[in-house]
Amino acid sequence: MLLMLGFLLGACAGSSVESTTTSSTSTTFASTTTTLPPTTTTTLPLAILSGTVTGPQSLPIEGAMVTAGDMTTITDSQGGFSLEAVYPTQITFQKPGWATSSVDWNGSSGPVVTELALLRIRGLRVGAGAAGDDASFDHLLALAEQSAVNALVFDSKQEGGKVLYDTTVTDAYELGAVEAFYDPNQRIAQAHDQGLYTIARVVVFEDSIRVKARPEEKLAGRWIDPRAESAWQYNIDLASEACELGFDEIQFDYVRFPAGATARVSGQLDLTPEERLSAIEGFLEAAREVLIPMGCAMSADIFAIVVSVPDDQGLGQRPEELSRQLDAISPMVYPSHYSLGWLGFPDPNDHPYEVTADAIDDALPRLDPGTALRPWLQGFWWTNAQIRSSIQAAEDRDVGWILWNARSNFDLAALPTDVEVDD
């Protein structure tokens, strides 16, 4: 099987939604179901409210916010929750990336079991230039208003290590990494006002700025060693700040060992697959311990090749291990970057539907239940019809998608409408 490694230089991708029915983009989300205890004839004015929040296949959902009146709690690792001295009231269950559910509770003592459904995210990438220019950003908002797009992915810390807004993380200033392109508070507010889900993309281990300032953490070239836990904390601090700012989800990119020529000189190939996988999963587990209690969803971008082969390709990425820590996983499915002859096609770039479909079909059975598949799709070097064809492969498989374009240059004709995705 041929190895696909190439990606565009500088073009790798690589508050929350309030309604379970429609957002202002008229996107209909999956419904939720709730099982209540039997109604009793006598209820106490005060009671203990307890129960469990689950997702697909009845698996527990950690980090969901449960609100009853003016009281709030967060579900534990088993999806459980408990609130004492609660009046009969409406209970609301929320978690970024999942459809919100609410139910009227009559005060009875039995457990409340609620099942949440994953949101179908359809997103566009917002690069530094688009986030920093009012006209460009307004254009993206207009595209979302007129299409099925319901999410925007903002660069937060980009390739090379530059942080794109005025951060409070002092380490970023000490590194000389800050160049403020946009005000995240303003852009998040604009997106949320339109009912859009917001994702902050944080590039992790490809960081030439930090490599220069912290040579002891260097692996090779522009790459930080993924085993350097001091670099873990820096990226987790940036991610937690993004969550505090109001982003609904944190998406980690370049959360891997390097590929290509750098991989051959870095020493990573002398490590066992388990050592590489453990380093990447360890970082994600540490980030999850911080982000999930804060109420943010967490996702990561991975090379598309690793969903179609059994090993980690030397990168420390396999969907089985990564999806254990993630709410969503995004293989970067760019057919223009696949080796000639992939799937028997002389040029895979001429077959957007088939190549996209193959990657999704390979990935789905390898993810933990409850982890959403949301591929990055190619929004460059194609006609609008070809982009539509790739999107259709995702829609036909009931998964979300995000379009990548280095300049955030998207055309309305490439995007499906609400009516089209609901048919």
DSSP for 176-219, written as a single string: T-B-----HHHHHHHHHHTT-EEEEEEE-SB-HHHHHH-GGGEE
- The phi, psi pair for 87, rounded to 5°, reads -75, 150
On whether the 122-422 domain is CATH 3.20.20.80, my answer is yes
**What's the residue count for the chain?**
423
Instruction: Report the C-alpha gap between 148 and 33 in whole angstroms.
Output: 24
- 307-351 tens-digit pLDDT: 999 999 999 999 999 999 999 999 999 999 999 999 999 999 999
| Spatial CB neighbours of 9, under 8 Å, sequence gap ≥ 6 | none
The confidence score (pLDDT) of residue 17 equals: 33
Q: How far is CA 111 from the centre of its chain?
A: 31
* Cross-strand bridge partners of residue 178: 163
Residue 379 in contact with residue 410, Cβ under 8 Å? yes
Pairing assessment for the beta strands 122-126 and 151-157 based on DSSP bridges? parallel
> Can you read off the two tokens belonging to residue 396?
């036909």
Q: Where are the domains of the chain?
A: 33-115, 122-422
**Low-confidence residues in the chain, pLDDT < 70:** 1-45, 423
DSSP for 119-171, written as a single string: ---EEEEE-HHHHH-HHHHHHHHHHHHHSS--EEEEEEE-GGG-B-S--S-HH
3-state secondary structure of 343: helix
Alpha-carbon separation of residue 145 from 87, 128, 142, 172 (angstroms) = 40, 21, 5, 35
Alpha-carbon separation of residue 402 from 214, 302, 324 (angstroms) = 33, 13, 21
Report the top-level CATH class of 33-115: mainly beta
Is this model's pTM higher than 0.95 or not? no
- Give the alpha-carbon dihedral of 201, 203, 204, 210, to 10 degrees: -130
* Cross-strand bridge partners of residue 28: 22
Task: Specify the residue for token string 């999963």.
Answer: 281
User: E-strand spans in 304-409?
Assistant: 328-333, 372-373, 376-378, 401-404
DSSP state of 285: H
